[in-house]
């Protein structure tokens, strides 16, 4: 990786169109191109509004956005410390193998250290063997005894509307 051709920086509200393009590229890579419902207006609100829900780092090669990391803070009750949760890490396929994913993770690790985080966590699709191998090489360990659960918007509404009985 030639450092003079590569840069990582925190996204700004002006980057929302680029962020949405990267989200769409990620969805295509993850075999779900039609599942993206995010909009520029919505991203402006949730990323740069009064109470931002997440932060975004952008990776550039020769001034072109080639990847991103979307993250937010969670909390470990056992550690009594905040954690950094990596929601998405994505480098466009044609730019992989140049160290850009590693550079994004190093940048995130520095943020986590500066903010006193007790850990960094993320999920990876079971079929994504290249990513699993990459994360293991960094020293990350899979949480084999844990299963991720999810309620979608409909499930949230159904639970919220249910009675206590």
29 in active site: no
15-53 burial code (b ≥16 CB/10 A, e <16): bbebbbebbebbbeeeeeeeeeeeeeeebeeebbeeeee
Q: Give CA–CA dist 116/111, Å, rounded.
A: 9
d(CA 149, CA 62): 40
Structure token digits, residue 42: 């919505």
SS3 138: coil
What beta strand segments (E) does 102-164 contain?
A: 120-122
Displacement of CA 144 from its chain's centroid (Å):
21
**Catalytic residue, candidates 29, 85, 100, 135:** 135
Tell me the catalytic residues: 135
């Amino acid at each position: 990786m030639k450092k003079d051709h590569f840069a990582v920086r925190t996204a700004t509200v002006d980057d929302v169109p680029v962020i949405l393009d990267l989200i769409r590229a990620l969805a295509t890579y993850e075999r779900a191109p039609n599942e993206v419902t995010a909009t520029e207006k919505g991203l402006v609100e949730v990323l740069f509004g009064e109470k931002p829900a997440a932060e975004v780092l952008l990776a550039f090669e020769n001034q072109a956005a080639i990847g991103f990391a979307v993250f937010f803070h969670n909390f470990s009750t056992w550690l009594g410390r905040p954690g950094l949760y990596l929601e998405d890490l994505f480098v466009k396929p044609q730019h992989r193998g140049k160290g850009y994913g590693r550079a994004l993770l190093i940048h995130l690790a520095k943020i986590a250290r500066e903010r006193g985080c007790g850990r960094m966590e993320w999920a990876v699709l079971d079929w994504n063997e290249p990513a699993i191998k990459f994360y293991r090489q960094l020293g990350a360990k899979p949480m084999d005894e844990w299963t991720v659960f999810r309620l979608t918007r409909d499930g949230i509404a159904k639970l919220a509307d249910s009675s206590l009985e």
